[in-house]
Every structure is written in structure tokens, then in C-alpha cells.
Structure 1
Amino acid sequence: MTRAALSFRRSGAQFLLDYAAWALALFAALALRYEFDVTEIAWLSLLGVIVIAGVLQFVAGWVAHLYRRRFTYGTFEEVRALTVSFLGLAVVLGGAVAVFGNAVGLPRSTVFLAAPIALLLALGVRYLKRLYVERRQRPDTGATRTLIYGAGYLGAQLVRRLETDPYSPYQAVGLVDDAPQKRNAQIKGVRVQGQLDDLKSIVTATRAEVIVVAFAKADMDLLQRVQDAAMKADIQVKVMPPFAEILGGRARPSDIRDIQIEDLIGRRPVDMRADLVTEYISGKRVLVTGAGGSIGSELCRQIAAFEPGELIMLDRDETGLQTAQLAISGHGLLHTRDVVLADIRDPAALEQIFADRRPQVVFHAAALKHLPMLEQYPDEAWKTNVLGTLNVLRAAELAQVETFVNVSTDKAANPTSVLGHSKRVAEKLTAWMGERTARPYLSVRFGNVLGSRGSLIPIFQNLIQQEKPLTVTHPDATRFFMTIPEACQLVVQAGGIGESGEVLILDMGEPVRILDIAERMIDMSGKPLDIVFTGLREGEKLHEELVGDRETTHRPHHPKISHARVDSIPPERLDYQGWMGRMFTHPRDNTTAAIARGTLETR
């Protein structure tokens, strides 16, 4: 049977059920009117009214789209359309019977008595069918018994999804919510069992194996509470996608996943202020250096959402460019002009690319970033982070770039390492070019991002997989953490509010102790692993800083972005030998920045 034939068959069956409801209702109305003495009924007249009711119901139902498959079966939209069609028929047919009924032996009240009976019958049939369909669609008995934390909109959506998906690996057996007013709430037969503090007893009563956090903005404090309670109750924790992804169609409420360490230490929901971004990116030619890296590729993805006139992804890593192109364009063919293979150490190549492509906005994310590696090879930091940044700035000036955003690091605040000093100089060079061009050339400074290549979390995950001890530099060492999407959202917004010569500092929240992360990851893995303290490395701080000693900040535009001024330095004052000599002859302990003063003052 074809799809059209099947649809017609279902619509016809639906109409016949409504027609039968009118027939039964009209007979019941007359039976009630004559106190069940059926010998008083004018059968021919009743039959005529039933036929007319059928014709009118088909017309009314067709006009209301009841029999054209517009509505999902048993929804409020269908109930509203059904009620309107039945009431319309009752008014038309009831009016006619009221005028001519006595002439054909029918009481004038017949149709008006029958209308509510017919409507109840039609609604009842739909309700029973919906119960039957939903019961058939429920997960089988082998599905994992699941609790849902949060009885709000997302929790209700998740319950409905799980209860109407026969292939779902999860079956909702209870809700958990801390709001007293939801103590007796019930969604599709799934009842609120209690509060999070009662989780252990709830798990015992429901035999649940999993709890899913269903909150639109589940911050790390909430997730830590749930994880701690779940560990005591010996139950797994899972989370839903962010609400923005569900609204944007990139995820469904049923796309639940395991909780990750990133959720527990860095999930800070960021409200994207599109007005700060649209004006300076939409329709513009935007170039991103380091586009194949963790930060650069995410910047490209977020910039693409604002429909730039052209997005140019530049990197020296062809594999990274392919991955970025795959995420943005849906292919990794590397044959289009949106990908550019070049090294920021090559000034001539950069100038040619900028002259040819004429970018209007530049995000400079290309950099060397591994602190201990650059301590061994400071020359590389100078070539890439200092001279490479200068090359990009000069190419941007020649191409008359309107907005330039230099991606910096918290290591540049009171620097004690080669990485920090090199990025501090990059900030000063950006400020110099801002003064020179009188355009918004600015830097954005933030701390560690979770999930980037070679960062803390992937290293710990790798060690856990190998069942090796986790290495921590110091039991009291702390760092600022933020997820890559959150950091990039703020970087993109910062470009719309920064001024020439400024460094914009992202709100990273409270610093997190690395030992706490290691302990949580070991607990989540369920493996009895040790933690080994290795000692702070050369140039490494015990506690990172976001704001330098001589910097003052304010927040005039965005609640999570601070503004500060950084001194500028012209290229002619760059002195590599002096920089190297002062950096390595001054004492650089691991808690206090030793500042190299003179030709290069890097604080």
C-alpha cells in the first residue's frame, strides 16, 4: 500500500469514528428524551438527521483539517479542531432541527443534547488510541531504569521522548526535583519521587541505575552536587545537551551522554549577545590564523554562524585545516579558497595573502603554547609568538584590516615563563599597532581551555586509560578553566566592544585546584590509581593570574569581560638578545614574577 493510500485510509477511519460518535449520540439523546422508550422514536427522521450529520461533519472536519493529516493524533491542536467542528455542526444542525424538528417528529433539543455526548465519545476514542500507541512505543523491559533530575520543561520533554521511543536504551522510572511545589507532580505517569538529598532512598525504591540532569543551565556547582549524591547512591550521572543546541536543532532532548570532568569544572553557560557581534562580522571578510587548532577551529565555527561575507582559515597544519573545513563546510576536500596554507613566520607570504584576500576582521589565534617546551626552546617562542604576531599585524595594516583580535593567555599577566613573556610582548605589539592605525586592535586574555590538544584533561584521561598514576605538579597548584566554546563565545563578543590598545580579560570564574580534578577523574573512572607530585616546572606558577600588578580593570559593556590597558612597544625596540639575557639572568621563582626591565619591559 502506498503512503498516500495509507494516509487516506487513516483519515477515512478517523471520519467514520466521528460519524459513529454522532450516530450513537443522536440515538442516546432521543432515548434519554423519551426515558428509554424507543417506540416513541421517529426512526426515519433520526436516520435522516444522522446522514445529514455525517455530511456536515465531513465538511466541517475537512475545513478544520481534521481529515487532512495536519495534526498529530491526540494532541491539543487536534482536540481544538475537533471541538470547533463539532460545535459548528451542532449550531447548524441544531438550529435546523429546532425550527423543523416537530414537523418530522423530532424534539427540538435533540442535537443540542447529542452534541456533548458525541464530542465526549470522539475525544474518548482518540484518548484510548493515544494510550494504546504510547504503550506500544514505550521502551522494552531491557531498557536502563532512569531517574530524571528536574521536573521542568526539559525534564518533561525528556520523559515524553523516552516514553514514546520503543528503541530508547533508557526508561524513565521517576523524577527528582528540589522544588517543594513539584513534590506531587507527575508527567506521563512518571512521578516526582523526592529531592536530590533523598537520592539514595529513591534509587533503592525505583531500582534506577542512571540519573539524567535535565536543566537548561546546569552549571558546575549543580553538577558537582549531583555527582557527589550519585556516588553515594552508586548510580551513574548523565547530562542533556545545552538548551541552546536543542533550540538550534543541533541536538535532541534524548541525546543524553555521560557526565564529563569538563562539566564539573568548566561548564559556565554564556549568553551570546548577538548585537555585539553582528555589526562587525556579518557580511565582512574574516580571517582566522591558527584555524586548525583547538581555539582557532572553534572560532571559525562560531564566526560562520554570523554569516560573514567570507571566512578565511589560515594555518600551517594541513590536517588541522582539513578538520576545521569538515566542521564548517561539511567536507574536507581542501580545494576551496576558504582554507589557506601558510606560516605566520613568513612575512612575505602573509603580505601577499592579505593583499589578495583583503580581510576586514582578523582573529590571530596562531601561537606556540606549551610552557615547558618553550622553556627548552625559547627561540621558537620568539619566532612564532613575537615575530609571527608582528608579521600578522604588519600584513593587517597593509590590508587596512578594520578589527584585529589577538588571542592571548593568562600567562601574560605578571609573566614568569618564556610563554608568558612572549605573549606579553605580543599584547604590547598589538597595542602599538592599535595606536598606529587608530583602529580597534586589541588582545583577549584567558586561562586554560578544557579539551584542547595537549591540555590537562586529555593527559589525565590518557593516563587513566593506561592505568598509570596521575602526575600533578603541586598539591596546592590552581588554574583557571573554561571550555573552548565558552571561551570563543566571549572572544567573538570581545571583538565588538574592545578599543585600540586594550587587553580584554575574560571572567574565568574561580581557580580550580588541579589535585581536585585528578581526584574527581579517578573517582569517575572507578580505578584505584595513585597521584604522583612532580614539583613545579621552570617558569611555572603555583597560582595563575589574569590581571597584572600594574593593570586596573573595569567592565563597561559585558558582565564577563573586563577591560584593561597595556603598554605598547614599537618593533624597533625589540631586542632578542636583551630579551633572552634579561629573562634568564633574572631569578624566576615559581611564585613571583621576576620582570625583565629595560629594552623589553614585559609586565
Structure 2
Amino acid sequence: MTYGKRLAALAILDSAIVLTAVYISYFILVPKLSIFENPMLLATSITLLISHHVFASMYKLYNKAWQYASIGELLAIAKAVTFTIMVTGIMQKLFFGNIYVRALAITWMLHVLFIGGSRFSWRMFRDNVMNKQEDIKRTLIIGAGAGGTMVARQLLHNVDVDLKPVAFIDDDPKKFKLDILGLPVVGSSNKIVEAVEKFQVEHIIIAIPSLKKIELNRIFEECAKTKAKTQIIPRIEDIMTGKVSVNQFRDVQVEDLLGREPVVLDIGSISEKVSDKTILVTGAGGSIGSEICRQVCKFYPSKIVLVGHGENSIYQIDMELHNKYQGQIEIVPVIGDIQDRNRIFEIMEEHRPFVVYHAAAHKHVPLMEYNPREAVKNNIFGTKNVAEAADTFGVNTFVMISSDKAVNPPNVMGATKRFAEMIIQSLATTSKTKFVAVRFGNVLGSRGSVIPLFKKQIQAGGPVTVTHPEMTRYFMTIPEASRLVIQAGSLARGGEVFVLDMGEPVKIVDLAKNLIKLSGYKIEEIGIHFTGLRPGEKMYEELLNENEVHPEQVFEKIHIGKAKVIHVEVLRGLIDSLLDMSEKEMHDTLIAVANNEFENTLALV
């Protein structure tokens, strides 16, 4: 129905209601009174009619979407009717010398009843007739606060959604046994399984925007005991910014369960380091490097240089940043290999960055065991090239992305990362550039990480392969790791090895079980197969060894390690001899150096 037709229909309906209300009220009081034979009654009817349309327009009674009518709309009706009656009473006093209070009181009540009834009957029809779909899913809402009631209201009023809320769960005892929007609050989160059975629930929505990760884990464990599909409302910032609506629910992700509470960054110190400066990121097309680019751009550097070896990945991050920051930040995509010393020096000389984030590296542990020479060329010589170019051209701060695998490494990848740390620690003793390294563990969803592999295995029907039932790893989300890297860079004084607080380590088998449940399967359906440790893998990762422990935090979730600095002459001798070694000698030398076994190392050189 067009707006004009809708307006005309409501005006005609209201006119009939007004005349009916006034006639009934006077008929109750004076049954034989005729509206056309009594001037006062005729004037009252005309005044009521005109006044109603005036006040109905003022309170927008003809513009409201009555299928979503609630208390606000009822108040608007009450105000419009009250003012209509008041104007009519004034007219009666002025022209007829008396106000017929009883008649106007009955008219007011009938007026509100008929106008309100006509509007709310449409909502009831929509909710109870139009919303009855055969494939509707009975839905339990976790959280009876602002988020939960918003979700329930949306579902109750939206005919296009096949979810019907039937009850709330909330841990606040004050809400137990209350009805909210006609739905009962049936108990706390330990009643989820019972509520699913009682109300025949097929769908669960977790609707608590402020929920902490540990509480989400606990609630999800309860939901996983049922057969109902579990989803979560979008992030509150996405709702507020209009990216999504409140009823665009998403599946619970493993990042929701394993991620930690967000760190509040020191915006001032980061802005001082990044805003209006030239920033260079190596490995800018990788999962960590590209996220560092995204986070850095939020502080509006004057220029960001995206350095990477793979043209496709650099193209993708370049296009993404151009679409978002075109005309605000100069974005320069550069194809270059960090192993190419001349090319790296050219790039550094041309752009003269203020801060360099060095994220380019080979990071796959088993692959580097089979290809130690490539690990050395990229992780050691590549880092040396970028770091020495930064020193030569006066970069203010150089931040190298390291790894927890650099601690007591039994593998080539970790050993080359520790070796790279030693290079920048050595440079920090003589350079004006502030050289620092940042260590953290596994990053959820990064390329080559275990989660994408598990997801593919689940999609293929299983089994999920886990190396060992006791294997544990530290995990962090890509955005959190990148933000803390940028924060650590702002704290740099030179020579530090910053260590990010990774929280508690997670068993890989528990991660696999969670992913299977999140994908809607039972663990028995997919299965878990243990394959044994691969070459170079450790059962448990560390972020600092016992000689490096420095428990105080220099910033929330950021520690400074006390990693030992190798003698400069020993380091230079090792670097010069590395590529002349056999792969076996190279492997043994790297691991000896990384574990500070210098006597053994010197014997090998």
C-alpha cells in the first residue's frame, strides 16, 4: 500500500472511531439523544473529529509502523486523545457554558480503546497469523539483558526470520521466573540442557555482548551438550556502526573461545611513533604482516610501504588499503625479496622509513627441517639485510617479529629465529636505530596454522589429525598479536626482546574437539587420529627459558625478556661460515647457537 492510500485509510478509520466513541458515550448517558437534533452534540462531534486529526498528525499516528507497536506508540495515542478531549471540553465551556465531564470521560476511554485496538490488532495478526511458519525453529536466548531483549524483539517482529524465541536463560537471580516480552526466564546457564529439552529448542543464540571469553567457553560447553545449533550475536561495535543488524547471527568461532579480552592500547605513544610517519612492513602480504598494515593505517601514517615477495598477496593488501584510505595515506606496494640485499637497500634508501616492521620469514617447522638452507637464507640473511639497511639509512625503530619457537629450539625454524634475534641485538649495541624483537606463539587462523587444516579435514568428513594427545601450544588472534607488536614498537629503547603474554597454553586435541563441535558434528562422527610428533616439533612451547624470565610487565600483556647477547665476533664468524656448511652441520650449528652452546659452536666453525 502506498503512503497516500495508507494515510487515507487510517484517517477514514479514525474518523469512524471518533464518531462511534462520542455517540456511544452520549447514548449510554442519554439513550434517546439524537446527534443531528442536538447542536451541542453536533459541535462536540465536529470538534473531536478535527482535533483528533490535528493531534494525530502532531504525534505521527499516521506515520508509525504499527506492526512494531509497543509502549511508545501507546503513549502517543494517549497523548493525542487526551489533548483532543481537552480541546473539546474548552469548546463546550466557551459555547455552551458547561463541560459534560462524564460524557467526555467515557469518550476518552472508548477513544483510546478503539484507536489502540485498531493499531495493535495489526501487530497481533502479524505475530500470530503471518509469523506462523511450518519450518520455524524454537529458539533459546542466552542473556535477558539489553542484548537479549533486543534480539527477542527483532525475532518476534520479523516475519522473514525462521527463528521463534521461546525462553531466556540468564545468570542474574533477580530475573528468574520473570516474563520478558512474554518469554519466561527459566534459570541460569547450568539449566541450558534442561531448557532445551523442556521447550523443544532447535536453536540457541548467545546474546551477551559483554561476555568474557572464559564465560563464553563455559556457556558453549553447556550448549554443546545439546543437539541445538548455537550462534552468537554480532560484535556490538559492528551493530553500532551499522555493518550488521542485530539479527545477523554468526556461528561461534574458535577465536571466540580461545581469544582473550582485548588490550587497551596506549594510543598516544603509538600515534607519536606512527602518525604522519613513513612506515615499512616486510612480509606485508602475509597474515601477520597484512594485519600489521591494517592496524598501522588506523593511526594514519603519511606513507606505508608494503614489501613482499609474492605479487598476489601484495596486490590484495594494496587494494584493500587503497579502497579504505585512498587520498588519506600514500600506499606503496613493492615487490622485493629480503634475500636480495641490493634490492632491500634500494627500497630503504628510496623511502627512508621511520619504523620498520619485519614480518617476512619462513615459519613452517617441518618444512624448514627438510630445507635448512632456505631457512638460513630467508630468516637469517634476509633479516640481516633488512636490519643493516635500516641501520644504514637511519630508521628510528626496527621491530622484528619473532616466535616462541626461538626458545630452546630443537628445530631449524626456531633456531633461525633465535639467530635473527641475536643479529638485531648485536646491531642494537652499536646503531642509533632502536632494534627490538617481539616473540609470541601461534596465531589463530594464520597461513599454515593448524585451524585451517582442521577445518578442511572436518569438511572432508574427517578424521582430524593431531600429532600427540598431550601437545600444547599458545594461541593469540591475528589482530591482537598485530596490535601488541605495534605497541611493543612504541616501547622500544633498543636491544629488547619483548614477549607477549599468551595466556594459558591450549591442548591441540581440545582445539580439535572444539572445532568439531562448532562445525555441528559430534567428535565420534569426525574422529581424531594421532600421528606422532613431526621432525623438529616440541611437545610444549615456551616464550622464555628459565634464564630469561623477567616477570614484570612493561605494558599490559607485554614483558621484556633477558635473552643473552652473543659476542659480535662469534656471530660474524658463524654468519660467514653458515652457507659453506653441509645441511647436517648447518642444522647442528644453528641449534647449538640458539641454545647458547657456544663452545660446541666454535668447534664446528
Q: TM-score range by the shorter chain?
A: 0.7 to 0.9
How far off is 1:481 after superposition? 1.3
How far off is 1:87 after superposition? 4.7
Task: Find the aligned partners of 1:594 and 1:291 in 2 and give their Cα distance.
Answer: 30
The amino acid that maps onto 2:198 is: A
How far off is 1:296 after superposition? 1.9
SS of aligned partner of 1:233 = coil
User: Which aligned pairs between 1:131-210 and structure 2 lie closer than 5 A?
Assistant: 131-135=124-128, 138=131, 140-210=133-203
Task: Find the aligned partners of 1:42 and 1:494 in 2 and give their Cα distance.
Answer: 89
- Residue number in structure 2 paired with 1:529: 527
Bigger mean CA deviation after superposition, 477-486 or 216-225 = 216-225
User: C-alpha offsets along residues 306-354 of structure 1, whole Å, 9 cap, x if unaligned?
Assistant: 44444433211122223334544459xxxx9543222222233233334
Task: Find the aligned partners of 2:168 and 2:377 in 1 and give their Cα distance.
Answer: 57
Is 1:555 the counterpart of 2:536 in the alignment? no
Task: Find the aligned partners of 2:427 and 2:30 in 1 and give their Cα distance.
Answer: 97
The partner residue of 2:96 within 93, 102, 105 is 102
User: C-alpha offsets along residues 377-434 of structure 1, whole Å, 9 cap, x if unaligned?
Assistant: 2222222222222333344445554444322211123333322222223334444555
Residue pair 1:73, 1:130 contacting (<8 A) in 2 also: yes
The amino acid that maps onto 1:248 is: T
Task: Find the aligned partners of 2:462 and 2:117 in 1 and give their Cα distance.
Answer: 63
The partner residue of 1:476 within 464, 470, 477 is 470
Task: Find the aligned partners of 1:80 and 1:499 in 2 and give their Cα distance.
Answer: 63
Task: Find the aligned partners of 1:29 and 1:324 in 2 and give their Cα distance.
Answer: 73
SS of aligned partner of 1:133 = helix
The amino acid that maps onto 1:122 is: I
Task: Find the aligned partners of 1:399 and 1:12 in 2 and give their Cα distance.
Answer: 76
Residue pair 1:42, 1:106 contacting (<8 A) in 2 also: no
User: C-alpha offsets along residues 257-295 of structure 1, whole Å, 9 cap, x if unaligned?
Assistant: 34444444x132314547354454444443332122112
- Residue number in structure 1 paired with 2:509: 515
Task: Find the aligned partners of 2:436 and 2:154 in 1 and give their Cα distance.
Answer: 46
- Residue number in structure 2 paired with 1:8: 4
The partner residue of 2:261 within 269, 279, 285 is 269
- Residue number in structure 2 paired with 1:303: 296
Is 1:595 the counterpart of 2:592 in the alignment? no
Q: TM-score, normalised by structure 2?
A: 0.82
How far off is 1:142 after superposition? 0.7
Distance 1:54 1:463, change over 3 A: same
User: C-alpha offsets along residues 483-539 of structure 1, whole Å, 9 cap, x if unaligned?
Assistant: 22332333344444444333332222211122333445556643253522423533x
Residue pair 1:94, 1:110 contacting (<8 A) in 2 also: no
The amino acid that maps onto 1:419 is: M
Task: Find the aligned partners of 1:443 and 1:515 in 2 and give their Cα distance.
Answer: 30
SS of aligned partner of 2:185 = strand
Is 1:500 the counterpart of 2:494 in the alignment? yes
Bigger mean CA deviation after superposition, 188-197 or 543-552 = 188-197
Task: Find the aligned partners of 1:65 and 1:210 in 2 and give their Cα distance.
Answer: 38
SS of aligned partner of 1:501 = coil
The partner residue of 1:319 within 312, 318, 327 is 312
Distance 1:211 1:380, change over 3 A: same
Residue pair 1:45, 1:106 contacting (<8 A) in 2 also: no
Distance 1:205 1:475, change over 3 A: closer
The amino acid that maps onto 2:575 is: Y
Distance 1:474 1:110, change over 3 A: same
Distance 1:599 1:28, change over 3 A: farther
The amino acid that maps onto 1:8 is: G
Q: Give structure 2 stretches of 5+ with no counterpart.
A: 325-329
- Residue number in structure 2 paired with 1:236: 229
Task: Find the aligned partners of 2:538 and 2:360 in 1 and give their Cα distance.
Answer: 24
How far off is 1:371 after superposition? 1.3
User: C-alpha offsets along residues 92-150 of structure 1, whole Å, 9 cap, x if unaligned?
Assistant: 5544444x1534x6536765764565345433433322333344663622133332222
- Residue number in structure 1 paired with 2:442: 448
The amino acid that maps onto 2:174 is: Q
Aligned residue pair count: 586
Task: Find the aligned partners of 1:542 and 1:353 in 2 and give their Cα distance.
Answer: 40
Task: Find the aligned partners of 1:166 and 1:131 in 2 and give their Cα distance.
Answer: 12
- Provide the identity percentage: 32
Bigger mean CA deviation after superposition, 252-261 or 450-459 = 252-261
The amino acid that maps onto 1:208 is: V
The partner residue of 2:370 within 376, 380, 383 is 376
Residue pair 2:470, 2:539 contacting (<8 A) in 1 also: yes
Task: Find the aligned partners of 1:428 and 1:290 in 2 and give their Cα distance.
Answer: 20
SS of aligned partner of 2:414 = helix
Task: Find the aligned partners of 1:70 and 1:188 in 2 and give their Cα distance.
Answer: 18
- Residue number in structure 1 paired with 2:327: none
Residue pair 1:478, 1:511 contacting (<8 A) in 2 also: yes
- Residue number in structure 1 paired with 2:387: 393
